[in-house]
């Protein structure tokens, strides 16, 4: 066997030039508390609070929701997604690196025992921790140039032909704009960790050069700029087809209240508004003397009582409400599953799950993102970002868990016109009897939210 020193060097003219690399860096600020985000569910990682794999997942989601929304079918979407994020057949051209600037500061769940934050954090358990807002980190994205991508596609097609599969188009697009728009959407509408659709883990991001100098603001510079800022981005993404969404897509509208405040205050403002719609005067009678909650105006309690206990077994504490539907779950539009618990264990714990035909699902993430939309100066406005999502076909009312379905309700139990017509209906502002439409109308009428 020859020694390494015996092997002649590669001739100068035949040496392959190094791969072209494109580098873009970002400076990211955490503007609301972060829940979870570690390797283990619900847990923070003190040594590595921000993980590259989590960011890759977020970028993939937001690329689909923005640049990917122009595709009409999953096949076309998958082809372009593979070119950006890779697959088992095509190595990812993207490298994600995170550099944290400081150790995170933690806060216990007990710091949020009252007020709107408690409503957003209801899913937290005793002992759960959050990372305080204020954490900063540097994000570095590196990807190969379009020239190198074309060489990879050529090699990929050679393998496909050898295995008698149809080759992919030889032309391959530059992915720079796709990645920059995915980062733009992620830092403005997404976040890190759990419960990002209720404002946790929200971010402010800026493009920077290698020395840390800001080269582009990702957030709107002022409240007055929000509409133009959002519309110009929509034009870059392309208009989605008229067909129903097959994956979550950024909607065509943005709702915001045009008063800037601190990011945490803006977060509490939007959470308080959502709580008011669901649990305040719109959603239920005023509390009884002693603080006991009044009866809900939504039809879910009546539906559960009638389905689980039936009319003959109902006690006198909660007699049937006249005119309130007993076959409806409009709040399922806000996301599933929903856990229903009754005072004094009047009815055992019930859980509502989504169903897609014969396929049983465990959850459907909320189509509404409620969060502080940060401005370039570090202030924020309360914002609602609707997503177009694939809808379920039915909902299963279960007693105690997924394996004990008591009744399956059709999609008409979630949205129909008659749900806006009964006395004191919280959905009266929606002609179609939609909880989402009614909440958006409530935000615009009660708290001066504007629609872009």
How high is the pLDDT of residue 289? 63
Residue that is last in its domain, among 218, 245, 277: 218
User: Which residues, 6+ apart, have CB-to-CB distance to 169 below 8 Å?
Assistant: none
178 shares a domain with 318: no
161 shares a domain with 98: yes
Three-state secondary structure readout of 128-171: CEEECCCCEEEEEEEEECHHHHHHHHHHHHHHHHHCCCCCCCCC
* Residue 134 covered by a domain: yes
* Residue 359 covered by a domain: yes
212 shares a domain with 341: no
Using alpha carbons, select from 93, 201, 59 the residue that is nearest to residue 137. 201
What number of CA atoms fall less than 13 Å from residue 447's CA on the CB side?
24
Work out how many domains the chain is built from and give that number: 2
Question: In the 8-state DSSP scheme, what is residue 307?
Answer: I
Helices (H), 222-291: 226-237, 263-279
Contact 32, 133 (CB under 8 A): yes
277 shares a domain with 198: no
Q: With 0-12 CB in 10 A as exposed, 13-18 as middle and 19+ as buried, what is 155?
A: exposed
In angstroms, rounded to a whole number, what is the distance separating the alpha carbons of residues 87 and 138?
26
Specify the length of the chain in residues: 452
SS3 208: strand
268 shares a domain with 209: no
pLDDT tens-digit readout, 257-266:
999 999 999 9
* Residue 248 covered by a domain: no
How high is the pLDDT of residue 41? 65
276 shares a domain with 209: no
* Residue 81 covered by a domain: yes
* Residue 191 covered by a domain: yes
327 shares a domain with 207: no
294 shares a domain with 171: no
- The list of the chain residues with pLDDT below 70 reads 1-19, 38-44, 46, 286-293, 310-317
434 shares a domain with 309: yes
Phi, psi of 222 (to 5 degrees): -155, 170
User: Which residues, 6+ apart, have CB-to-CB distance to 57 below 8 Å?
Assistant: none
How high is the pLDDT of residue 10? 46
* Residue 25 covered by a domain: yes
How high is the pLDDT of residue 424? 92
How high is the pLDDT of residue 66? 96
For residue 274, the enclosing domain spans: 263-451
79 shares a domain with 165: yes
* Residue 232 covered by a domain: no
State the maximum Cα–Cα separation within the chain, in Å, rounded to a whole number.
96
213 shares a domain with 312: no
Q: How many CB atoms lie within 10 A of CB 54?
A: 18
* Residue 310 covered by a domain: yes
Using alpha carbons, select from 348, 325, 335, 342 the residue that is nearest to residue 406. 348
288 shares a domain with 400: yes
Contact 267, 371 (CB under 8 A): yes
How high is the pLDDT of residue 8? 53
């Amino acid at each position: 066997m020859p020694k390494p020193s015996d092997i002649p060097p590669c001739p100068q003219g035949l040496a392959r030039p190094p791969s072209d690399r494109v580098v873009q860096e970002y400076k990211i600020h955490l503007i609301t508390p972060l829940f979870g985000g570690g390797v283990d569910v619900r847990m923070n990682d003190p040594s590595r609070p921000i993980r590259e794999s989590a960011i890759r997942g977020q970028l993939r989601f937001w690329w689909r929701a923005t640049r990917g929304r122009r595709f009409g079918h999953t096949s076309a979407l998958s082809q372009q997604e593979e070119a950006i994020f890779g697959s088992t057949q095509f190595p990812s051209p993207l490298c994600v690196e995170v550099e944290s600037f400081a150790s995170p500061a933690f806060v216990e769940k007990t710091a949020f025992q009252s007020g709107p934050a408690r409503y957003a954090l209801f899913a937290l358990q005793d002992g759960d921790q959050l990372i305080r807002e204020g954490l900063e980190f540097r994000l570095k994205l590196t990807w190969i140039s379009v020239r190198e991508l074309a060489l990879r596609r050529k090699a990929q097609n050679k393998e496909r032909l050898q295995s008698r599969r149809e080759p992919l188009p030889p032309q391959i697009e530059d992915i720079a704009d796709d990645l920059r728009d995915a980062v733009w959407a992620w830092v403005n509408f997404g976040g890190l960790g759990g419960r990002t659709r209720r404002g946790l883990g929200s971010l402010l991001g800026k493009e920077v050069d290698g020395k840390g100098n800001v080269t582009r603001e990702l957030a709107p510079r002022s409240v007055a700029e929000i509409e133009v800022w959002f519309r110009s981005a929509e034009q870059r993404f392309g208009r989605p087809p008229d067909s129903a969404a097959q994956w979550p897509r950024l909607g065509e509208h943005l709702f915001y209240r045009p008063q800037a405040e601190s990011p945490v205050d803006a977060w509490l403002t939007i959470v308080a508004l959502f709580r008011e719609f669901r649990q305040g005067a719109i959603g239920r009678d005023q509390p009884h003397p002693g603080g006991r909650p009044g009866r809900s105006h939504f039809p879910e309690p009546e539906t559960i009582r009638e389905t689980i206990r039936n009319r003959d077994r109902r006690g006198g504490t909660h007699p049937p409400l006249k005119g309130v539907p007993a076959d409806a779950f409009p709040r399922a539009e806000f996301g599933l599953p929903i856990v229903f618990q009754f005072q004094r264990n009047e009815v055992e714990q019930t859980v509502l799950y989504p169903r897609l035909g014969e396929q049983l699902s465990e959850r459907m993430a909320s189509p509404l993102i409620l969060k502080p939309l940060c401005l370039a100066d570090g202030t924020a406005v309360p914002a609602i970002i609707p997503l177009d999502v694939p809808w379920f076909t039915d909902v299963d009312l279960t007693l105690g868990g997924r394996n004990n379905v008591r009744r399956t309700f059709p999609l008409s139990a979630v949205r129909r016109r008659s749900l806006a017509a009964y006395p004191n209906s919280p959905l009266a502002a929606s002609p179609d009897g939609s909880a989402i439409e009614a909440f958006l109308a409530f935000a615009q009428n009660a708290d001066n939210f504007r629609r872009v």
